[in-house]
Amino acid sequence: MTAVQGTAVDVPAGDGTADAYLAHPADGAARPGVLLFMDAFGLRPRLRSMADRLAGEGYTVLVPNLFHRHGRAPLVDLPELIDPGARPELFERITPMMRELTNERAMADAGAWLDWLAGSPVVAPGPVALTGYCMGARLSLLTAGTYPERVAAAAGFHGGRLATDAPDSPHLVAGRVTAELYFGHADQDPSLPREQIDRLERALTAAGVRHRCEVYTGAPHGFTQADTAAYHEEGDERHWSALLGLLRRTFPHGG
């Protein structure tokens, strides 16, 4: 693994300035860019460690605070082990912030994140890759369809509401996606029932998108997050294998 440098950075966004975490190889050389979309629990040590691991593989990784309109992270007092079942008040705080992050706002922000990466001296020129978790998986798909010329690959893990009946459902951008996509779905995830999994698969196939969608048997919603009660070690390691494989295919001469 390559030595890693991690720093807090501020990124200009349409509604002000967003705090973010940047991780990259410590040699300072320009590397392929990766934009990591957080889950609902926000920018915190677990996501920084995930960014560090990707940076150790040779990528420059930006993890923005998607709830920046509400302040700098952390916005919620999180326990050492996050168990929403035992702490329902967490989602009482988080849910309004999620609802206020509309597709329009999120995609305006995504343009800002991509602009910042494009202007960074530690990011190699050209399209970047995306990876997202829970709500971030949805944003990964939307960003791939909104900025196709700027996204070379996109992944999403234990995402919810990816293919609903709503007129702004993420799967409806499939026809604009040019990136290779990978989705690792949680088994028996109430936020992504089988009919949505099938609808997403049909949409991507019909649009001719290079993709793979897999259901991780036995893995609950949130399975990659080691600081939560949903953590599933086998599913997490499978996620790393799939994500790193996607990145190596996308950037065969970098990373």
Residues acting as catalytic residues: 134, 189, 221
b/e burial code for range 4-42 (CB count within 10 A of at least 16 → b): bebeeeebebeeeebbbbbbbbeeeeebbbbbbbbbbbb
Around 52, how many Cα atoms within 13 Å sit in the side-chain half-sphere? 12
CB 98 within 8 A of CB 37: no
C-alpha dihedral sign at 68, 72, 78, 80: positive
| Four-point Cα dihedral 235, 237, 239, 245, nearest 10 | -150
> Using alpha carbons only, how large is the chain's radius of gyration in Å?
17
Query: What is d(CA 213, CA 137) in angstroms, rounded to the nearest whole number?
Result: 12
Of the candidates 99, 118, 113, which has an alpha carbon nearest to the alpha carbon of residue 143? 113
Of the candidates 65, 13, 4, which has an alpha carbon nearest to the alpha carbon of residue 31? 4
**And the tokens for 189?**
């995830």
Of the candidates 146, 202, 138, 214, which has an alpha carbon nearest to the alpha carbon of residue 178? 146
